[in-house]
Amino acid sequence: MSTKTSLTYQDYVAMPQDGLRHEIVDGEHFVSPAPSLYHQHVSRHLQLQLMLEYELKGHGWVFNAPVDVQLSPHDIVQPDLVIVSAARKSILTPAKVKGIPDLIVEILSPSTSKNDSQIKPELYEKFAVPEYWIVDPDDQSILQLVLQNSRYSQLTCQAQVTMSKEPCICVELRSIW
């Protein structure tokens, strides 16, 4: 019989500040290297649109990596972008987002593609994250997963993506590639 040690947030904060991305999913430690420059370019341009349309209009906050999102004692992730609405302000702590954000965005990289497209959709669905975007810079598209009846439904967006809940902000994708 195998015994598995489930890592916690306390284990997470004790990890070295080594420039790598550390995450814990279901108590298991995942490490990936810093993203590419194109990844950062896409992230910054998407963040700018979200900032202009969401945060600067007073709807809530947009955070970019590295930002810790603690979904449970054994699930801590560092998404590329996170949106927390003003209605969910109580989940913001000085050190992290502790709870379920309104939107999580991951931008695919060779080192994170499997986790972002296979492991994290299940994780975010389990914790009822209302919306999850998987950005594919190579395909220049976004897979938009929207929680409906405790399950994600999918839309593939290539020209624009619109948040599913109010305010329904729209992001023009041609300006992020």
pLDDT digits (tens, 9 = 90+) for 129-139: 999 999 999 99
What are the φ and ψ backbone dihedral angles of 97, each rounded to 5 degrees? Answer: -95, 120
Question: Is residue 16 scored above 80 in pLDDT?
Answer: yes
Residues 131, 157 contacting (CB under 8 angstroms): no
- Segment 120-137 shows an average pLDDT of 97
* Mean pLDDT calculated for residue range 68-96: 97
Look at 8-22, 98-112, 123-137 and tell me which has the smallest mean pLDDT.
8-22
Q: What is the CATH number of the domain that holds 86?
A: 3.90.1570.10
Domain assignment of residue 71, yes or no: yes
Q: Which of 37-51, 53-67, 82-96, 146-160 has the lowest mean pLDDT?
A: 146-160
Q: Is residue 18 part of a domain?
A: no
Is the pLDDT score of 2 beyond 80?
Answer: no
- The percent of residues above 70 in pLDDT, for the chain, comes to 98
| pLDDT > 70? residue 70 | yes
- Average pLDDT of the chain is 93
Question: What is the pLDDT at residue 3?
Answer: 57
Distance CA 30, CA 27 (A): 10
Question: Residue 157 — pLDDT band, cuts 50, 70, 90?
Answer: confident
3-class state of residue 17 by DSSP: coil
In a domain, 58, yes or no: yes
Is the confidence at residue 98, as pLDDT, over 60? yes
Determine, yes or no, domain membership for 14: no
Give the residue ranges of DSSP H helices in the chain: 9-13, 37-50, 113-114, 120-126
Give the integer Cα–Cα distance in Å for 111 and 9.
Answer: 23
Measured CA distances, 115 to 55, 83, 85, 158 (Å): 28, 20, 26, 22
pLDDT > 90? residue 150: yes
- Distance separating alpha carbons of residues 151 and 103, to the nearest angstrom: 15
20 found inside a domain: no
Residue 26 inside a domain? The answer is: no
Query: Residue 44: inside a domain, yes or no?
Result: yes
Domain membership of residue 139 as a residue range: 35-175
Q: Please state the pTM of the whole predicted model.
A: 0.91
Please tell me the total count of domains within the chain: 1
